[in-house]
Structure 1
Amino acid sequence: MQNKGLIRAFAILLALVCVYQLAFTYVARKVERDAREYAQGDKMKELFYLDSISGETVYNFLGMKKYTYKDVKALEMNLGLDLKGGMNVTMEVSVVDLIKSLSNYSTDTTFNAAIARATQLQRDSQDDFVTLFGRAFNEIDPNARLAAIFNTLELKEKVKYNSTNSEVLQVIREETDAAIDNSFNIIRTRIDRFGVAQPNVQPLQTRGRILVELPGVDNPERVRKLLQGTATLEFWETYENNEVYPVLMQINQKVKEVQSLTAQEPAEIAAEATDTTATDEDSLLGELQSGEADSTAVDNLADMKKEFPLFSVLTPSTTPDGQLYPGPVVGTAHFKDTATVNSYLALPQVKAVVPRNLAFKWTSKAIDEGENFYRLIAIKVTSRDGRAPLDGDAIVDARQDYEQFGSRPEVSMTMNSEGAKTWARLTKENIGKSIAIVLDGYVRSYPTVNSEITGGRSSITGLESVEEAKDLANILKSGKMPAPAHIIQEEVVGPSLGKEAINSGMWSFAIAFLLVLGYMLFFYSKKAGLAANLALLANLFFIIGVLASIGAVLTLPGIAGIVLTIGMSVDANVLIYERVQEEIKAGKGLKLAIADGYKNAYSAIIDGQVTTLLTGIVLYLFGSGPIKGFATTLIIGIFTSLFSAIFLTRLIFERKLDKNKSITFTSKMTDGWLRNTNIKFLEKRKVAYIVSGALIIISLLSIFTRGFNYGIDFKGGRTYVVRFDQDVKVAEVGDALAAVYGGAPEVKTFGGNNQVKITTLYKIDEMTDDVDAEVEQLLLDGLKKAGYIGSEVSMQDFDTNYRMSSQKVGPTISDDIKKDAMIAITFALIIIFLYILLRFRNWQYGLGAVGALAHDSIIVLGIFSLFKGLLPFSLEIDQAFIAAILTVVGYSINDTVVVYDRIREYLHIHPKRNRELNIDEAMNSTLRRTFSTSLSTFVVLLAIFLFGGTSIQGFTFALLVGILVGTYSSIFIATPIVYDTQRQVSKVAEKKK
């Protein structure tokens, strides 16, 4: 084998990269284990411990680079919600409300009819709402003019009275795009302040939709309120630092008095004064706990905290020699101390000494991202009602620009006439001072006023980057518009279900992996089988290492993807080993047989893996959440499997050959298994056509009569998986919930007699902020009436101890999911047909392959229809099922391509021999490979099905059925179609002659 050194070097480098990346996960787990041991079950103490060492070095990579706990936590392997628990939501910015706001809530009948019509069209269209609105407006009244509606005071600079409808629509699109970008930034900022480890906030392909993943959260209602609140933009006057410092001294004295009277620690006061989940702890906690800190330092620290409780957590804004800095910043605090500062400011004794016209607000961004220190700004409250003197309604336009005589970024903004008057007064009275720009209660910027600004046009300078300037411009530009973002899809997984998923996933993984390793040793002898097993172990290590390297999220379907990949990666080894055995039986020496065996197997291996890769890519492009995780592991697994099976096993064999060691590729028990068979497959094709035709007819009849059990992915609704302390009667739960919902929801057992799955369409079309909480409260009330939950159980208790998971899918997104599923399946079939056509240069092969895939898909769908409600696990048609269908397509085409490849080879070797004989012999020669690959993959899936948990049983059942049907169709459907169509083409050609 050429380039052995290069391959060996690449394998070593890949292994080192995997070790390096996985080390972050190992270190993070070790630190968290130490925290649990220290806390002894006290969650607050555990949080204190982790907060205290967040900035301390816990990992030193080869003495070259140091990583803090916060760093390793950010780089560890992410677990999905189904393994860790948490919340996943898809939000959609309400473009309807934005357009109404831009029109100043016009009462024009054509305008409002167009809004209603566009909302209706959106359910069945992939176009954005602005396009649909323009189309609907033109349909309702082709002569109506949008300029008459949108020539408002705020838009008069952009929309003229004679502007065309297309020009107005372009302005609306620009305004809504800016608002959507701003909404994304606001949501991202809110999540950053929420304190969730490893949050994921990203815009989706559909404009205006935002994905938010929050692992580990246990308060869904708090998250909903945080995400769905409308942004509030305000402009506030500020105090100078020297004006406020005496007040800070008074606050410190009052806190000192409170602590001396109550003998409470700061953290205890924080717990009483605020409901925030943030905790307080000093940075020396680790040393204090280990007893390694100097006793004098401990005494000095204790004395300082006792004498200056406020300034021990809030550093005053002073120079090194103690002089007060100018400006509105009165102090800085680490993020973990901000809650303590807030708790001090919330004490009644402190409020008594703070002037009513003084308020404090934190900056939204840290001074130094690595250190996480935030500034505290002194705000001047001049109105009696506590409102800001100027808000976002005054802003007409804002854009990122550059200073006139330089390249530093700035923001230019324009205000309406009323806002311009207020702005002129504010700037005149605050020359040399700062005006704080506050979004959602946090200071985004506090520019200094250089002179009075009249006319409503002004610039904000002193910004650090173009990105900051663009963000601020978007906030100012769309801050005036009500742009609520509604949750249109939601999934909540309880922490206990996450732990169960990890356990079941690991069990299924371990059992499946051991079965595959045992099978390879049994079927291909200790020597060749051991080489294959070493490659499988390396493959597993590489998959997990690469997943960690790219920051992929590991989900339960992802684990299934890894296990399935392991099962399918056996196929490459099997193909190689079978080829090597053929070369040995042909009389070649061991070294030459191995070389030729690898060379002859490459075509089938690459064709089979490429077709599976194509389906994986389709899954990745059109899937979301766990399905994308499954596709990611499948794609990575294909590449690592090819490298491990082709190159690593070859290196092992080359090393043994260099030492003149013998290598056997079969055991005595399996040497003759399915070898030299002479089955007349094509003679039996008519029987196969009849059997398959009957199965397809039965499947189609069931599909059109019984239909499917659609999951909420495809029909919309809310579903809750609830576990009780005792077995329940489904009818009683259904009756109790029908009484509170006004209609009977779907209730069925799910995994056990003490666990039910409840699906309801109650108020699924409503988008108000409180509707989700209302539906959940009614659910709890109904379960209490049924007698399965105690009357004293609160919603928090219900979320923690009873609700295992929940999911919400709005009607709009369910339509989109259905469309994406159909596109995915169609697209997969087309690209597979084109690939087969390209590789085999014969359309009959493509037709046979697609015909077999259609056959497999219809039968799997038919089984899900026939047996719905009859089996003790869910047979829902949802996104996971679509993933299973596409995986079956990938596996089936892989099997078919291997057969096709051998047929092509036999036709090339024996061009004058009878075609039927060539095809039969080719199929017989692949039986050993088909048996080994199908059996190993089936056993792997069976282990996942039995031990992988309730949530993916339907998914793995579809794969199990698909493997059986796919193996059958590659032999009895795909190849006979090729044979019959080619024969018909030959007959037509002969008649023409």
Structure 2
Amino acid sequence: MLNHYPLWKNIALVLSLVVSTLYALPNLYGEDLSIQVINLQGNSANESVLTQVRKVLEQESIPSKSIAIENKTIIARFTNSNAQFHAQEVLIKVLGENYVAALNLTPAVPNWLTKFGASPMKLGLDLRGGIYFLIEVDTNPAVEKLQEQIIETLRLELHDNAISYEAILKKANYENEIQFNNTKNRNQAALWLVSRYNDITVNNYGKYTVRIAPTSDRQRQARESAVLQNINILRNRINQLGISEPLVQRHGFNHIAIELPGIQDIALAKKILGATATLEFRLVNNDLNLDTIFSRNLPENLEIKMTSDGKPIVLYKKVILTGEHIIDAVSSTDAYNRPQVNILLDDIGGLTMFHFTKDNIGKLMATLFVEYKDGGRKNPNGRPILIKKEEIINIATIQSRFGNNFRVTGINSLSEARLLSLLLKAGTLTTPIQIVEERTIGPTLGSKNITRGLKACFSGLITSILFMVIWYKKSGLIAAAALIVNLILIIAIMSLLPGATLTMPGIAGIILALAVSVDANVLINERIKEELCSGRQVQQAIHEGYRCALPSIIDANLTTLITTIILYCLGTGPIKGFAITTSIGTITSMLTVIIGTRAITNLLYGGKNIDNFSI
């Protein structure tokens, strides 16, 4: 029978519409002005802190919509910005240094919808407000670290293979120089190095010297690895703070773009993201006298570092362990109320520490605090030149073997201990970073953008509906219904996709998708008109109209889809947002036009003797 769908297909279409409507509904409820109470230790919120927040707001007579634990953090919702700002000011004073009260925007979705896992679309900074950072990663220290690793490896390898040498020195351009006492040893070492290592270049220099350096590919890999590791660490730091829906992604070769929607405290964000603190554990050398220390006439495997009170200490250059192996760090106080950080190592770090302490009982081990800071000078591009600050914060005698758990003391204050524990827990930046661009977009501007975007979207939708109804009458109403269903489908899919974020260009993509949907309806209706004019019966004209228009609709939408895929692959940021919504809208428009309008037309006209078709 012409123009007839089986019952199961109609039921499937109705269920699809119901489910889509359910997951699109959360976007109608908007967002509440809120305060997000964040634990700087990265711990989940507890009932005692929740009770404290409620009590403080009641005492200050600050009205709130609700105060509850949501996603492991405390969220206090307010009806106006005055109450929100007042609450933040009060909570900062009461909660102290352990917590941060951050301005935020929280979805106002009712509980019955959240039980189904329904949530609104994630909004970009241009719609929601928040903080944007563009961070530049200095990858040179990664290659310098590689240079130092090569020195340590060569020192051991040459010794194990009985190849005698005079010294190994660091040179410019990441080169290392190995000095020999005769040409024979130099040539023997050069041949051995070439045969053993394929990621370093080996060149004879003078009569008794060999210069080696990591190849350009090996240097590029080190830089690449540094950027990727920093991306993961920055993402971990943001997650430790409980910030919802952050975006951390690579931008070019050595830049990272970070978006923190809803967050307005730029000082806190810079403090957490820009910090580069880490720890190094090294063995102390007590065999040298002060004259040797101050003359700087040190063996090549030793160097001098200073304590916080300016005392010089001789350390071995070889690092026992770094912050990379720390998986948990909690600040506390010892029996004498002095700040300390309790550290938990991963399996590799614990095993390394166990073997080292087992073989060095009775010796001194220093904890070296390493941080990159603004040196007060700027490079030719006007950016601050970072300097490496190193300070010994603790020296302890190894009294017994220990593994995964130990404590670091000698920290100046409890606030420093809290910040250090947060940074160590979230991860240590492998190379220094600089914030080269920062923007704060207020929630008021974001709400204005939403209003403008919605006006543009609904204006286009209403204009299209009016055109279809006036020009195609009842068939135009069917097309208008398909347009509305198409919009619901796009919103539902965008709400369900975990990585999708709606921006202003994304709204433009939705409007374009609706226009494409109108175009497809026009093709079908015009084809049906042609069939009726050629003398076909109504049922046959409808059937032929859909059948003949189908290839043109598929071709047109496929070309659009291919274009959006290319835009997504080659574009960044807003272009990707435009490509995502356009591609989703293109697919849903094909479904609503080809299947949706056909289903409605079949229900109204299928299997009936009709002499007049309203089109």
Alpha-carbon distance in structure 2 between the residues aligned to 1:12 and 1:617: 30
Q: Indicate if the aligned counterparts of 1:381 and 1:387 stay in contact, CA closer than 8 A.
A: no
Q: Indicate if the aligned counterparts of 1:92 and 1:488 stay in contact, CA closer than 8 A.
A: yes
Alpha-carbon distance in structure 2 between the residues aligned to 1:512 and 1:492: 31
Task: Describe the shift of the 1:233–1:88 C-alpha distance in structure 2 as closer, same or farther (beyond 3 A).
Answer: same
Task: Describe the shift of the 1:4–1:556 C-alpha distance in structure 2 as closer, same or farther (beyond 3 A).
Answer: farther
Alpha-carbon distance in structure 1 between the residues aligned to 2:503 and 2:365: 54
Q: Tell me the residue number matched to 1:544.
A: 491
Cα-to-partner distance string for 1:223-282 (whole Å, 9 max, x where unaligned):
33432221323679xxxxxxxxxxxxxxxxxxxxxxxxxxxxxxxxxxxxxxxxxxxxxx
Q: Indicate if the aligned counterparts of 1:79 and 1:554 stay in contact, CA closer than 8 A.
A: yes
> Given the alignment, which residue of 70, 73, 79 partners 2:123?
79
Task: Describe the shift of the 1:43–1:418 C-alpha distance in structure 2 as closer, same or farther (beyond 3 A).
Answer: farther
So what's the TM-score if we normalise by structure 1?
0.38
Task: Describe the shift of the 1:2–1:622 C-alpha distance in structure 2 as closer, same or farther (beyond 3 A).
Answer: farther
Q: Which amino acid aligns with 1:88?
A: Y
Are 1:143 and 2:92 matched, yes or no? no
Q: Which amino acid aligns with 2:432?
A: P
Task: Describe the shift of the 1:554–1:46 C-alpha distance in structure 2 as closer, same or farther (beyond 3 A).
Answer: farther
Q: Tell me the residue number matched to 2:239.
A: 192
Alpha-carbon distance in structure 1 between the residues aligned to 2:563 and 2:404: 61
> Given the alignment, which residue of 59, 76, 91 partners 2:111?
59
Shift in Å, 1:26: 5.0
Task: Describe the shift of the 1:8–1:410 C-alpha distance in structure 2 as closer, same or farther (beyond 3 A).
Answer: farther
Task: Describe the shift of the 1:440–1:221 C-alpha distance in structure 2 as closer, same or farther (beyond 3 A).
Answer: closer
Q: Indicate if the aligned counterparts of 2:567 and 2:579 stay in contact, CA closer than 8 A.
A: yes
Q: Residue 572 of structure 2: SS of its match in structure 1? A: coil
Cα-to-partner distance string for 1:299-349 (whole Å, 9 max, x where unaligned):
xxxxxxxxxxxxxxxxxxxxxxxxxxxxxxxxxxxxxxxxxxxxxxxxxxx
Task: Describe the shift of the 1:617–1:663 C-alpha distance in structure 2 as closer, same or farther (beyond 3 A).
Answer: farther
Shift in Å, 1:630: 1.0
Q: Indicate if the aligned counterparts of 1:199 and 1:212 stay in contact, CA closer than 8 A.
A: yes
Alignment size in residue pairs? 435
Q: Residue 624 of structure 1: SS of its match in structure 2? A: coil
Task: Describe the shift of the 1:388–1:504 C-alpha distance in structure 2 as closer, same or farther (beyond 3 A).
Answer: closer
Q: Tell me the residue number matched to 1:486.
A: 434
Alpha-carbon distance in structure 2 between the residues aligned to 1:165 and 1:182: 20
Kindly report which structure 2 residues correspond to 1:280-299, keeping only aligned pairs within 5 A, or say none. Answer: none
Alpha-carbon distance in structure 2 between the residues aligned to 1:59 and 1:104: 57
Shift in Å, 1:213: 1.1
Cα-to-partner distance string for 1:574-599 (whole Å, 9 max, x where unaligned):
11111111111111111111111111
Kindly report which structure 2 residues correspond to 1:376-395, keeping only aligned pairs within 5 A, or say none. Answer: 377-380=331-334
Shift in Å, 1:111: 3.6
Are 1:428 and 2:399 matched, yes or no? yes
Q: Residue 217 of structure 1: SS of its match in structure 2? A: coil
Alpha-carbon distance in structure 2 between the residues aligned to 1:559 and 1:498: 14
Q: Which amino acid aligns with 1:196?
A: I
Q: Indicate if the aligned counterparts of 2:274 and 2:435 stay in contact, CA closer than 8 A.
A: yes
Alpha-carbon distance in structure 2 between the residues aligned to 1:418 and 1:489: 47
Cα-to-partner distance string for 1:617-664 (whole Å, 9 max, x where unaligned):
111112222221111110000011001111111111111124556663
Q: Tell me the residue number matched to 2:16.
A: 14
Q: Indicate if the aligned counterparts of 1:235 and 1:389 stay in contact, CA closer than 8 A.
A: no
Task: Describe the shift of the 1:606–1:432 C-alpha distance in structure 2 as closer, same or farther (beyond 3 A).
Answer: closer
Structure with higher RCO (Cα < 8 A, 6+ apart): 2
Cα-to-partner distance string for 1:144-164 (whole Å, 9 max, x where unaligned):
79xx99xxxxxxxxxxx9988
> Given the alignment, which residue of 567, 574, 577 partners 2:522?
574
Q: Residue 211 of structure 1: SS of its match in structure 2? A: strand
Task: Describe the shift of the 1:426–1:649 C-alpha distance in structure 2 as closer, same or farther (beyond 3 A).
Answer: farther
Cα-to-partner distance string for 1:874-923 (whole Å, 9 max, x where unaligned):
xxxxxxxxxxxxxxxxxxxxxxxxxxxxxxxxxxxxxxxxxxxxxxxxxx
Cα-to-partner distance string for 1:765-786 (whole Å, 9 max, x where unaligned):
xxxxxxxxxxxxxxxxxxxxxx
Alpha-carbon distance in structure 2 between the residues aligned to 1:415 and 1:212: 39
Q: Which amino acid aligns with 2:264?
A: D
Q: Tell me the residue number matched to 2:420.
A: 441
Shift in Å, 1:422: 1.4
Shift in Å, 1:508: 1.6
Shift in Å, 1:532: 0.5
Alpha-carbon distance in structure 2 between the residues aligned to 1:548 and 1:199: 16
Task: Describe the shift of the 1:93–1:598 C-alpha distance in structure 2 as closer, same or farther (beyond 3 A).
Answer: same
> Given the alignment, which residue of 509, 531, 537 partners 2:457?
509
Task: Describe the shift of the 1:431–1:229 C-alpha distance in structure 2 as closer, same or farther (beyond 3 A).
Answer: closer
Q: Indicate if the aligned counterparts of 1:234 and 1:388 stay in contact, CA closer than 8 A.
A: no
Kindly report which structure 2 residues correspond to 1:467-866, keeping only aligned pairs within 5 A, or say none. Answer: 479=428, 483-487=431-435, 490-525=438-473, 527-551=474-498, 552-657=500-605, 658=607, 660=609, 664=613, 666=615
Are 1:42 and 2:83 matched, yes or no? yes
Alpha-carbon distance in structure 1 between the residues aligned to 2:604 and 2:33: 43
Shift in Å, 1:507: 1.7
Cα-to-partner distance string for 1:61-85 (whole Å, 9 max, x where unaligned):
5xxx848xxx87xx43211111111
Shift in Å, 1:543: 0.7
Task: Describe the shift of the 1:104–1:383 C-alpha distance in structure 2 as closer, same or farther (beyond 3 A).
Answer: farther
Q: Indicate if the aligned counterparts of 1:389 and 1:422 stay in contact, CA closer than 8 A.
A: no
Shift in Å, 1:539: 0.5
Q: Indicate if the aligned counterparts of 1:89 and 1:491 stay in contact, CA closer than 8 A.
A: yes
Q: Residue 111 of structure 2: SS of its match in structure 1? A: strand
Task: Describe the shift of the 1:17–1:608 C-alpha distance in structure 2 as closer, same or farther (beyond 3 A).
Answer: same
Q: Tell me the residue number matched to 2:257.
A: 211
Q: Residue 244 of structure 2: SS of its match in structure 1? A: coil
Higher strand share: 2
Q: Tell me the residue number matched to 2:307.
A: none
Task: Describe the shift of the 1:111–1:29 C-alpha distance in structure 2 as closer, same or farther (beyond 3 A).
Answer: closer
Q: Give the share of equivalent positions with the same residue, in percent.
A: 28
Are 1:99 and 2:53 matched, yes or no? no
Kindly report which structure 2 residues correspond to 1:140-539, keeping only aligned pairs within 5 A, or say none. Answer: 143=203, 165-166=214-215, 170=218, 179-194=226-241, 196-201=243-248, 203-204=249-250, 209-233=255-279, 377-380=331-334, 412=352, 421-422=364-365, 428=399, 434-436=405-407, 441-442=420-421, 479=428, 483-487=431-435, 490-525=438-473, 527-539=474-486
Q: Which amino acid aligns with 2:124?
A: G
Cα-to-partner distance string for 1:669-713 (whole Å, 9 max, x where unaligned):
xxxxxxxxxxxxxxxxxxxxxxxxxxxxxxxxxxxxxxxxxxxxx
Alpha-carbon distance in structure 1 between the residues aligned to 2:341 and 2:87: 40
Ranges in structure 2 where 5+ consecutive residues have no aligned partner: 35-63, 67-76, 92-100, 150-168, 177-199, 283-325, 367-394, 409-416
Q: Which amino acid aligns with 2:261?
A: P
Task: Describe the shift of the 1:439–1:659 C-alpha distance in structure 2 as closer, same or farther (beyond 3 A).
Answer: farther
Q: Tell me the residue number matched to 2:310.
A: none
Q: Residue 656 of structure 1: SS of its match in structure 2? A: helix
Alpha-carbon distance in structure 2 between the residues aligned to 1:415 and 1:173: 33
Task: Describe the shift of the 1:112–1:9 C-alpha distance in structure 2 as closer, same or farther (beyond 3 A).
Answer: farther
Shift in Å, 1:19: 3.1
Over aligned residue pairs, what C-alpha RMSD do you find? 5.0
Cα-to-partner distance string for 1:78-111 (whole Å, 9 max, x where unaligned):
1111111122334343211221244359862444
Ranges in structure 1 where 5+ consecutive residues have no aligned partner: 114-136, 150-160, 237-363, 367-374, 392-397, 402-408, 446-470, 667-993
Alpha-carbon distance in structure 2 between the residues aligned to 1:620 and 1:377: 44
Q: Residue 545 of structure 1: SS of its match in structure 2? A: helix
Alpha-carbon distance in structure 1 between the residues aligned to 2:602 and 2:456: 34
Shift in Å, 1:112: 8.0
Task: Describe the shift of the 1:549–1:177 C-alpha distance in structure 2 as closer, same or farther (beyond 3 A).
Answer: same
Higher helix share: 1
Kindly report which structure 2 residues correspond to 1:868-887, keeping only aligned pairs within 5 A, or say none. Answer: none
Shift in Å, 1:380: 4.5
Alpha-carbon distance in structure 1 between the residues aligned to 2:441 and 2:432: 25
